Every structure is written in C-alpha cells, then in structure tokens.
Amino acid sequence: MSEHDEYLIRPDPHDPRLTERVSGVDQTGAAIETLVTVERALTIYLNAQEIVTAMTIGDHPDYLAIGYLLNQNMLRPDDVVTEVEYHEDLAVVVVRTERATNYEQKLKKKVQTSGCAQGTVFGDLMEALEGVSLPTAEFRTSWLYALTHKINTTPSLYLEAGAIHGCVLAVKDRPLVYMEDVGRHNAVDKIAGWMFRNKVPAGDKIFYTTGRLTSEMVIKTVRMGIPVLVSRSGFTAWGVELARKANLTLIGRARGKRFVALAGLDRIVFDQDLAYVEDEGARHRRKAAVHDD
C-alpha cells in the first residue's frame, strides 16, 4: 500500500474544476503556459438566513459550510443537522438544523481578522478559550517527521499550481484528511465540518497547516478540541499567547529537520534521531518560498 493510501480524503490536483491553464511570458519574455488555481463564490445559508459568501475552490461545500458555522459559533457541537443542500448552479449551500436560529445581530458585528478572505467574528474569539480544557496527549517528534514527509510528498494543488493553503488532520504519524483552499480558514473549516458530520473524536488528533500560526488558527484548533497544532510557517505573538493560555501544543517552522515549539511543551516526546531525518527537498522549498504568508 502506498503511504498516500492512508488518507481518507486527500487532494485531487487533476480535478479539471480546480485549475485552469493560462498563457503568459516568463522573466526572459518566452511564451509559457501555467496552471492557476480557480476560485469561485459560495454563499452559505443557515436555515433561511444568508450568512456569508466565501471565495473557495468549490470542493466539499457541505463540509465547508458546516465547519464555517461551527467555527463562527453559529452551530453548536450538539446541534442536529437535518439536511445540507448544495445547489451547484446557484453556488449556494443551505444547512438546516432542528434548532431555530437567528443571527441577525451577530452578523452586524462582524470584524474581519487576518485570515484570507472572510475572517472570523472577532467578538467570539475569546469565548472559545473560556473554561477550555484540551486533553492530555503525547506528541512524538518521530510522528512529526513522518507526517511532514508524507504531507510534503502528497500530490496536491499546492505543488501543481500554488496560490493555495493546505490543512491536514492526523493521528500519530498517519494523515487522515487533507483539505486545500484559497484561504487557510476554509481548509480548516472543511476539516471541522468533516469531523462534525462523521462524529470524529478530537482528543488524539494533530492538526497541520501550511499557513501562519495566527490567533485565528489557534482559536479554531482549540474550538475543535485538538491538542496539537503544527505549521511549516511562523507565529504571531497573539497566536502564541492564546496557545499558552489554552495549553495547546504549538509547533512552527517545521521544515526538514527543524521546528520551533512555543507552547504546550509538556506533550512533546523527543524520540527521533535527527541523523535519520532528511532535509526538505529543493522543489518543495521553492514552492514554499512563494506560498507561505
């Protein structure tokens, strides 16, 4: 079995809906053709109320809608979702619940955060940390190096066309679900929606992202109940502060043999002999140089 067969969901870079071939010139003036990532609008409704129009690559609209509503605190973990309707021709997804909902006042107070495209409702950020208790869990460095190798060698839109973020849900050294989107928050929300719909427990999971470790990324990981957040990119000061408050294990700049951990250090078990870890491949370093933000 290929190591990429471990995934329950992974990117399909050859899906013709997700990229377009565009002509142009390179730095020498020579004619070239290159793949670019497609983005399209998707409007999310909760029952009869329009919530947001997000720019997305368009795959997994049901997971994106549910995850977005969960991470905005509009869906509760114990809510019963009775139906998810996706109308491709209208670019609309409707999430219907048993509980009556009305978020008119909440939507008026929306403030965009540093996340790409549609941000998080700022007033709800700190609510996720109140009384939070992330599970005690072990995180072995051998899992980290095995995971990053598998993720970095998985065929993806990131490697094919760039201009995209990726997030991976994993357990120990096994990647389970790999989602991509033009905004890192969309990729997070798709995984949150998948976990909700499939009733997946979070306490033993690891969350990996290609994007920055911002306050928004920390909050969304905490909301999902996942105790470990890893990125190949760097940190913001508030992201670190919130991770320490929640005792979230926060690991960034994870490239090749290197990483930096700034919160939740008690979970880390240093069991990997670095002499057996390869440095990151040149192709991935070139892509990462223009990808990470």
Record the tokens describing residue 191, joined without a space.
């995984």
- Helix (H, G, I), strand (E, B), or coil: what is residue 62? helix
Using pLDDT thresholds of 50, 70 and 90, give the confidence band for residue 4: low
Q: Is the pLDDT of residue 219 over 80?
A: yes
pLDDT tens figures, 74-93: 999 999 999 999 999 999 99
Q: What is the CATH number of the domain that holds 198?
A: 3.40.140.10
Residue found by looking up tokens 């005690």 in the block: 136
- Please check whether residue 36 lies inside any domain of the structure: no
Using pLDDT thresholds of 50, 70 and 90, give the confidence band for residue 119: very low
- Please check whether residue 273 lies inside any domain of the structure: yes
Q: Which residues of 89-100 are buried (b: 16+ CB within 10 A; e: fewer)?
A: eeebbbbebeee
- Please check whether residue 17 lies inside any domain of the structure: no
124 or 23: which carries more pLDDT confidence? 23
Mean pLDDT of the region 20-44: 95
- Please check whether residue 61 lies inside any domain of the structure: no
Over the chain, what is the mean pLDDT? 88
Residue range of the domain that includes 267: 139-291
Q: Is the pLDDT of residue 99 over 70?
A: yes
Q: What is the pLDDT, as a whole number, of residue 228?
A: 98
Q: What is the pLDDT, as a whole number, of residue 73?
A: 86
- Please check whether residue 237 lies inside any domain of the structure: yes
pLDDT tens figures, 229-258: 999 999 999 999 999 999 999 999 999 999
273 or 113: which carries more pLDDT confidence? 273
- Look at the chain and report how many structural domains it folds into: 1
Using pLDDT thresholds of 50, 70 and 90, give the confidence band for residue 285: low
Mean pLDDT of the region 122-140: 76
- Please check whether residue 253 lies inside any domain of the structure: yes
216 or 177: which carries more pLDDT confidence? 177
Which stretches within the chain are classed as H helix? 61-71, 104-108, 141-152, 157-160, 184-197, 215-224, 237-246, 282-291
CA distances in angstroms from 137 to 67, 140, 226, 293, listed in the order given? 24, 10, 10, 29
Q: What is the pLDDT, as a whole number, of residue 36?
A: 92
Using pLDDT thresholds of 50, 70 and 90, give the confidence band for residue 113: very low
Q: What is the pLDDT, as a whole number, of residue 131?
A: 74
Q: What is the pLDDT, as a whole number, of residue 72?
A: 87
- Please check whether residue 115 lies inside any domain of the structure: no
pLDDT tens figures, 155-199: 998 888 778 899 999 999 999 999 999 988 999 999 999 999 999
Query: For the whole prediction, is pTM greater than 0.85?
Result: yes
% of the chain with per-residue pLDDT over 90: 75
